[in-house]
Structure 1
Amino acid sequence: MSDRSVLEGTILRGKAFEAIEGRVILSDGQIVGVEEEPVESDDVVVPAFVNAHTHIGDSIAKEAGEGLDLDELVAPPDGLKHRLLREASHEETVAAMERSLGYMRQGGTAACIEFREGGVDGVRAMAEAAEGLDVDVVTLGREEIAAMEAGDGFGASGARDGEFGRERTATRKAGKLFGIHAGERDPDDINGALDLDPDFLVHMVHPEPIHLDRVEDRNVPIVVCPRSNLVTGVGTPDIAELASRTTVALGTDNVMLNSPSMFREMEFAAKLSDVPAREILAMATHHGAEIADLNCGVIEEDRDARLFVLDGDSDNLTGYQNAVRAVVRRAGVADVREVVLQTAE
């Protein structure tokens, strides 16, 4: 028997997020119809988010490290987060990650791309934390090739920390995802990162013209995390310039430093850059899905039924004049009425 349901309201349809009045029809984990017609609902139906860069293991150390610089906070192997991760028990780490994933789900996040510390054990702990949840965690192992083999790919810390040639070759042979931090504190590691032919770069706060040309020539996607960059004092990315060169997605980075809320990340990115709201919403949804090869992030037929519903008559949203801007610049977790995270079998 088909598992069929209907969501009504203002639908943000397609990759352009066209705001139409109507209904979305879901069946067996898939969007099977988007119908435009008058309905009696104040709801706003939005494609679920894809958080394209997380460090969820940091959930055991929220708001630790006040006054420390980037290296003191997160640099391997002796940055504060790495010491705290080593000191935490397996049970503490898993429980904290599970709570963060639950919060992400409440806020309409369908998936994340996780750079997971701790080698094979870290990858397995992430799988344990996600078990029973319907949030897709694309886990990129770190520190050893075996972690890549146990997960969904490899997440490199940066070209200044090692050469990563063996890891890149092994990841390519495995047909898995390879991402690397680059240009976070300065431009010195960007060419080294690009030489590895990564599937995507993270941060790119300090690119020089030659780097932007290389990114554009190779069409290398970039994940930006502007709240994290501001907190760690490295500056903020030129999101508009990056978006003019390649595909840009949004991530929330370290849970140690920021809540994994895509609403907060979108609002900050939009107001920091003045990039149009539709483009910011794309960065938070289907751009990340494309990097991770997920069939979500867009409300259209044959996509997985992964979306959420906002109460358009909440105290925060009532009276909005532009649905996309309201989602990007104003909405929050408290406005979420329902989250639907289903995947076609």
Structure 2
Amino acid sequence: MELSGTVLWGDEYEPIQGTLVVEDGTVQRLDEESTDSSNLILPAFVNAHTHLGDSIAKEAGRGLTLEELVAPPDGLKHQLLRDSDRGELVEAMRHSLRFMQETGTASCLEFREGGVEGVYALREAADGLGIDPFAFGRGETDVVEAANGFGASGAADADFSSERAAARNADKPFAIHAGEVDASDINPAIDLDPDLLVHMVHAESLHLDRVEDKQLPVAVCPRSNLVTDVGLPPVRELLDRTSVALGTDNVMTNSPSMFREMEFVSKCCDVDAPEVLRMATRAGAAAISANYGVLEQGREARVLVLDGDSHNLTGALDPVRAVVRRAGASDVERVVLP
């Protein structure tokens, strides 16, 4: 397979005109050459934090607090999940997965409620699609065997020591929400030695020092945090300390669009376009040790092709800024996934 246009190559997303050569699902090389194609070619996105079960209740819960919306066990989302028919849940998640795939997302890091059956429902929803959801299972420790890892609600909700141990014994990652509502659960979360922290809205200097010392990756979800009125994460400060990935969080309140998330964080936080694109691609892939998220020789070829001659993108002088701050679903020309 050959893809020609302006290729955002390597970890710095250097715009190089040429042809990306893919063989057997792997990036073989980039042939730098003149081409008539106006396409923009970049790594497909990795959505670093989702709750796809919420797809059954899009735009529900107007006016509710974060706790009323999502806190286990009686938040609105958990009530709706308990009451939902399995077939309806699978179909709703499938719609969200298809939307992500069609808008250039290669994988999502999904906090999957419902224990083992919840993981199976997610896999059924993804069956036959190119997008590859990474399931952080939730529930009892037995979910670790079925899932790709364990996703904890937060250190204030329960003692997750046994779940942490189960994930470590299975050599699978452990992720946990921390610092979403306030700072009180951040140190206990870090004490669990997680592989990924989610949110960190209320991270203070001590927490940032600990994150840097342990080099703990963080997934931030700024649009969701704004909607739930908990504030915005200190993205600049986190990026100065560790790897930061970008997620869209609850489908109940936000579409799982990485275009929207990138634009939002680039305009509301002190980060430049290459940093934001790295948050939306390589950082999420690295959090699960995946060999994609960047276009380099030997990487798995999960590729997004945008129409650089679309009404929206034509005339853009900076390809990376155009992708991050301007591009959208209507600009997608092609998505190459396994």
The two structures have a TM-score, normalised by structure 1, of 0.97
Native 8 Å contact 2:200 2:233 kept in 1: yes
Native 8 Å contact 2:198 2:219 kept in 1: yes
Query: Offset at 1:28?
Result: 0.8
User: What is the aligned counterpart of 2:197 among 195, 201, 223?
Assistant: 201
Query: Offset at 1:274?
Result: 3.0
1:28 alignment partner in structure 2: 24
Taking the aligned partners of 1:289 and 1:208, their CA distance within structure 2 comes to: 26
1:220 alignment partner in structure 2: 216
SS at match of 2:197: strand
Residue 50 in 1 paired to residue 69 in 2?
no
Q: What stretches of structure 2 of length at least 5 have no aligned partner?
A: none
Query: Offset at 1:12?
Result: 0.0
Native 8 Å contact 2:235 2:270 kept in 1: no
Deviation per residue, 1:183-242 (Å, 9 max, x gap) = 001000000000000001000000111111100000000000000000000000111111
Taking the aligned partners of 1:225 and 1:198, their CA distance within structure 2 comes to: 18
2:147 alignment partner in structure 1: 151
SS at match of 1:136: coil
Residue 130 in 1 paired to residue 126 in 2?
yes
2:156 alignment partner in structure 1: 160
Residue 327 in 1 paired to residue 323 in 2?
yes
Residue 257 in 1 paired to residue 245 in 2?
no
User: What is the aligned counterpart of 2:185 among 179, 189, 206?
Assistant: 189
User: What is the aligned counterpart of 1:111 among 107, 130, 135?
Assistant: 107
User: What is the aligned counterpart of 2:74 among 64, 75, 78?
Assistant: 78
Taking the aligned partners of 1:201 and 1:116, their CA distance within structure 2 comes to: 16
User: What is the aligned counterpart of 2:311 among 312, 315, 321?
Assistant: 315
SS at match of 1:145: coil
SS at match of 2:299: coil
2:176 alignment partner in structure 1: 180
Letter in 2 for 1:107: T
Taking the aligned partners of 1:255 and 1:209, their CA distance within structure 2 comes to: 31
SS at match of 2:123: helix
Taking the aligned partners of 1:274 and 1:183, their CA distance within structure 2 comes to: 20
Letter in 1 for 2:242: T
Q: Identity across aligned pairs (percent)?
A: 60
SS at match of 1:279: helix
Native 8 Å contact 2:203 2:234 kept in 1: no
Letter in 1 for 2:65: D
Taking the aligned partners of 1:237 and 1:22, their CA distance within structure 2 comes to: 38
Taking the aligned partners of 1:32 and 1:57, their CA distance within structure 2 comes to: 37
Taking the aligned partners of 2:167 and 2:299, their CA distance within structure 1 comes to: 27
Taking the aligned partners of 2:97 and 2:270, their CA distance within structure 1 comes to: 29
What is the total number of aligned residue pairs between the two structures? 338
1:211 alignment partner in structure 2: 207
Taking the aligned partners of 2:236 and 2:211, their CA distance within structure 1 comes to: 14
Aligned CA RMSD, in angstroms, stands at 0.6
The two structures have a TM-score, normalised by structure 2, of 0.99
Deviation per residue, 1:53-79 (Å, 9 max, x gap) = 000111000000000000000000000
Taking the aligned partners of 1:148 and 1:231, their CA distance within structure 2 comes to: 31
Native 8 Å contact 2:94 2:126 kept in 1: yes
Taking the aligned partners of 1:86 and 1:33, their CA distance within structure 2 comes to: 49
Deviation per residue, 1:271-325 (Å, 9 max, x gap) = 0113010000000000100001111111111111101100001010010010000
Deviation per residue, 1:150-203 (Å, 9 max, x gap) = 110100000000110000001000000100000001000000000000001000
Query: Offset at 1:269?
Result: 0.5
Residue 302 in 1 paired to residue 302 in 2?
no
Query: Offset at 1:147?
Result: 1.3
2:266 alignment partner in structure 1: 270
